[in-house]
Structure 1
Amino acid sequence: MDRESGLPLPLDAATAARLQRQRRASTKPELALRRELHRRGLRFRVNHPGLPGRPDLAFTRAKVAVFVDGCFWHCCPEHGTIPRNNRDWWRAKLDRNVARDRAKDVALADLGWVVLHVWEHEAPDAAADRVEVEWRRRAT
């Protein structure tokens, strides 16, 4: 644990460098969802900087925030795993990710937003159906 930040420290410099190279925005599942929603005529802001957690997609008029969550990084109940090497470090890291997700959900809800989470393994059309239903419900 880093004393200043309270964050777990990676096992080595190579692990730290690999984590820094991970794409945080515009992942393949996110792009597929964005394409499908755009095809349906829905327009949104990407990584809205004025909102807690910078949602992957923000439908500002309807106040719907969408996060596309990776199965590994956000502990998917179907596909989430913990690496065997440096297990305690990974558990702390992933638990912190999930806690941060819940905190930003609460912060957005306090501002009157509905938050939807889409897992990376979800089919883009099925995920878009969920988003569109919520958008139509709130936009009218």
Structure 2
Amino acid sequence: MADIVPADVRSRMMAGIRATNTKPELLLRKGLHARGLRFRLHDPALPGKPDIVFPRHRAVILAHGCFWHGHNCHLFKWPSTRPDFWQAKIARNREVDARTDIALATAGWRQAVVWECALKGRTRLLLDNVIDSCENWIRSDLQRMEIRGA
């Protein structure tokens, strides 16, 4: 792709990839809001601008895309084009995730990660079960939670 597609076209293609309001994030927000949970979105005052913020519960939910965060599941596959670029990109994303986790924990925020594979693909879980788990975690005192596909 790098040799075939001009750089300006590549940048427009990448511009179409969302950082916020992704489908997994919207599914989580809709389900949690329907259960009476109120939240803020992408709070710039917090490290990493978490996807969903529950100030009352000092909790955040991060809806991670399996490709962009290099999750070890069936949705992640290394691209065959420009492998050096993609390995550096995914490695940097993982480093940013680790720094964000530490910064949020240091600031006293509880964190949950919901992986895309829990909501999409052959290993997806029932959406109601994912929302139940998130709601129970938000209302609990547990510091961390992670939901991944089956």
Q: In the alignment, is the contact (CA less than 8 A) between 1:56 and 1:68 conserved in 2? A: yes
Establish whether residue 136 from structure 1 lines up as the match of residue 147 from structure 2: no
Identity of aligned residues (%): 39
Q: What's 2:18 paired with?
A: 23
Q: What's 1:114 paired with?
A: 110
| Residue in structure 1 matching 2:36, options 38, 41, 44 | 41
Pairwise CA distance, 1:31: 0.6
Q: Summarize deviations over 1:12-40 as a string: whole Å, max 9, x none.
A: 33323322221111111111111100111
Q: TM-score, normalised by structure 1?
A: 0.84
Paired AA for residue 62 in structure 1: H
Unaligned runs of 5+ residues in structure 1 are: 1-10
| Residue in structure 1 matching 2:90, options 90, 94, 117 | 94
Paired AA for residue 37 in structure 1: L
Following TM superposition, the consecutive aligned residue runs of length 4 or more in structure 1 with deviations greater than 2 angstroms are 11-17, 123-127
| Residue in structure 2 matching 1:14, options 9, 16, 40 | 9
SS state at 2:61 partner: strand
Q: What's 2:145 paired with?
A: none
> C-alpha distance in 2, partners of 1:67/1:53?
10
Pairwise CA distance, 1:125: 2.4
Q: What's 2:65 paired with?
A: 70
> C-alpha distance in 1, partners of 2:103/2:29?
24
Q: In the alignment, is the contact (CA less than 8 A) between 1:56 and 1:66 conserved in 2? A: yes
SS state at 2:140 partner: helix
* Number of residue pairs aligned between Structure 1 and Structure 2: 129
Q: In the alignment, is the contact (CA less than 8 A) between 1:47 and 1:57 conserved in 2? A: yes
Bigger relative contact order, structure 1 or 2, given CA contacts below 8 A and separation 6+?
Answer: 1
